[in-house]
Chain A
Amino acid sequence: MRIVVLALLLASATATAEPGGRCAGGVCDVDTGPRPWVLTDSCHEDHDVVGYHRCPGFDWAKGENEPDIAVEAGLGWRHVLAPPVPAMMTARTASGDTPLADIATAELRLTVGLRGFYGGLELSIGDLTRRTYSFGALVQGGVVGGVQIPLGPFVVGAELLGGGRSERLTHNINNNMAPAVTAGIVEARARAGVWVTPWLMIEGALGTGVLDRRERFATVGVAFHSRTYAGQR
């Protein structure tokens, strides 16, 4: 393998680009016309003039319908249906068979937006341990879609999430692992955010379960956008 890599590097270094030619993987096309001011002996970027550069240019340029890609991370609170206590376990602090639990979650999502509409994927991971059982975890994910409206430095919007949730409890993390309890979820949410830089937004959301209205949801987080102001201004 090392020999192959060495050979490729050698070929790249020795492939002398004809002036104005283009290179890829050590192989250079020959263009016509003498251009002694373009001095290259490899396929590294050596020129910033259109037509001569080898790396793709126009990294600043956006297409008219280029979507905004947003990566968001945050912390959340969820008031969710907890799984029933497994018969083989003893709940540490469970009060009777109360099906609801308050848990903290870590939230991560990736969305793609255009012209005020967006869609994407969302993942939440929560800890069911503290108020329910010795050990417990919640993982939920789904597809999210919504609309957002810019209001000066603020953005408000509404969205819907559809997906699934898995909860698992155990009294001993090494043994007695209960089977995962899975359920489908639909959540309706209102979102709001404020731009702190053209690319960064601090945002929050409030939501409720659609299938079970007793479920509640709140998050705060930060979102990094590929287009300034999500390309909405």
Chain B
Amino acid sequence: MNLTIVLVLYFLIIIFDFLPLLKKDNKKVISFYIGTSLLTLIILVLYSFDIVIPSPVKPIEDIINNIF
């Protein structure tokens, strides 16, 4: 279910936001767009398969707990 939701979201984003941008925009925007989309797609697909990805909050929590 989660995987379907993620794939539909990315499909809609590509159709309605990315393709119109591709026609007119500079390389910086497109590179950032593709890079971020791929990274987040990997994370979300892993999440859909219930694979636990380490939270960035954990190290923050550990640092604060060690100090205080």
A and B form one complex: no
